[in-house]
Amino acid sequence: MPAILAIESSCDETAASVCVDRMILSNVVASQKVHEEYGGVVPELASRAHLQAIVPVVDTALKRAKTSLDTIDAYAFTQSPGLIGALLVGAEFAKSCALARHKPLIAAHHMQAHVLANLIQSPDKKNDIPSFPFLCLTVSGGHTQIVLCSDYLTMKVIGQTLDDAAGEAFDKSAKILGLPYPGGPLIDKYAKDGDPDKYKFPEPKIDKLDFSFSGLKTAILYFIHEQKEKNKNFIEENIHDICASIQSRIVSILLNKLKRASAQTGIKNICIAGGVSANSGLRKTFAELGAKEGWKTFIPAFEYCTDNAAMIAITAYFKFLAGQFEDLSVVPSARAAF
């Protein structure tokens, strides 16, 4: 029953979590507001904000778990991928704790952790956990992957985006509509009252299990320009239908490939993960498709979809059991495959 303190600092969220066994005792996330006025994450500002937030965030995570550093058996951090200056803050903090307390250190891969968020046990132990092998569609701000997971720490990417990630497709579409960053959740919000069939955006023809979203972004850009020439209030008057139509196309691109991946591999245990799995349209359509295809579907609890440290803690838990520890020379890396 190891107790693990995990830190996540790969982008613009400073997060800490305490996990004992497979259960999350606390999950604290401080979202950095400083980037809003720039329309995207500014790396140097992210590093500084992590430095300011990390001590209070860890302190709150320990307090909410009703524990202290005395009970912690291992310290974990996100090693990659991410913004290097941001990753360094979490890595050095975890290393310092491990050194000072003479405890093991564990490094987690952020994308692997998004997948393993599906294995977090709820406090009442009533949630279904996928058995191996399973497929996971991981959709975040920087990645879009279909992952074949054959064991806790054995994963293979069998499809991925060739250009923009699904989260970027949401955020860049939102920017075209004049919505603030990050626009994904706002598209979701407006889409709730819109007609998803009102405007037809193209579905790219991409080989195998890979994705592409850059053509969709260009199509949306041209469409909006054209419509605004005819009616300068086009966006304001039709925001719900525009958002619903964009969301519905992004979701259909994702789920058509997931359907193909299931058919090719014969795997019917299917998960989704990552920030975009918080999208209500994706969650609903995924569940409907799963029922139709005879899949067993899994979606992490909402708080474990967008960036968080609970997913780092659960990954570290499995690494602890497998004896996968690091020494203090370990360094973070902006890009690394798993």
Q: Which does 89 bind (CB under 5 to 8 A by kind): Zn ion, ligand KG4, none?
A: none
57/98 with CB nearer ligand KG4: 57
Distance in angstroms (rounded) separating the CA atoms of residues 267 and 198: 34
Q: Which does 171 bind (CB under 5 to 8 A by kind): Zn ion, ligand KG4, none?
A: ligand KG4
Closest residue to ligand KG4 using C-beta atoms: 275
43/215 with CB nearer Zn ion: 43
Count of positions on this chain that bind ligand KG4 (CB under 6 A): 18
Contact set with Zn ion (CB under 5 A): 140, 307
Distance in angstroms (rounded) separating the CA atoms of residues 30 and 13: 6
For residue 182, is the peptide bond before it cis, meaning its omega torsion is within 30 degrees of 0? yes
Q: Which does 188 bind (CB under 5 to 8 A by kind): Zn ion, ligand KG4, none?
A: ligand KG4
**Residue 183 CB, nearest approach to ligand KG4 (Å):** 6
Contacts of 69 (CB under 8 A, 6+ apart): 5, 62, 97, 101
**Residue 273 CB, nearest approach to ligand KG4 (Å):** 8
- Retrieve residue 42's tokens: 């500014």
Distance in angstroms (rounded) separating the CA atoms of residues 213 and 220: 11
Report if residue 142 touches ligand KG4, rule: CB under 6 A. yes
Distance in angstroms (rounded) separating the CA atoms of residues 184 and 166: 9
CA dist list (Å): 124 to 4, 82, 114, 209, 304: 20, 33, 22, 37, 16
Report if residue 140 touches ligand KG4, rule: CB under 6 A. yes
Closest CA to 297 of 274, 321, 263, 269: 269
Residues 244-283, one symbol each (x = binds ligand KG4 by CB under 6 A, - = not), give: ------------------------------xxx-xx----
**Residue 311 CB, nearest approach to ligand KG4 (Å):** 9
Report if residue 81 touches ligand KG4, rule: CB under 6 A. no
Report if residue 286 touches ligand KG4, rule: CB under 6 A. no
Cα within 13 Å of Cα(238), Cβ side? 19
Of the candidates 141, 194, 300, 332, which one interacts with ligand KG4 according to CB under 6 A?
141
One-letter amino acid for residue 55 of the chain: V
Question: Which residues bind to ligand KG4, rule: CB under 6 A?
Answer: 11, 140-142, 167, 170-171, 182, 184-185, 188, 274-276, 278-279, 306-307
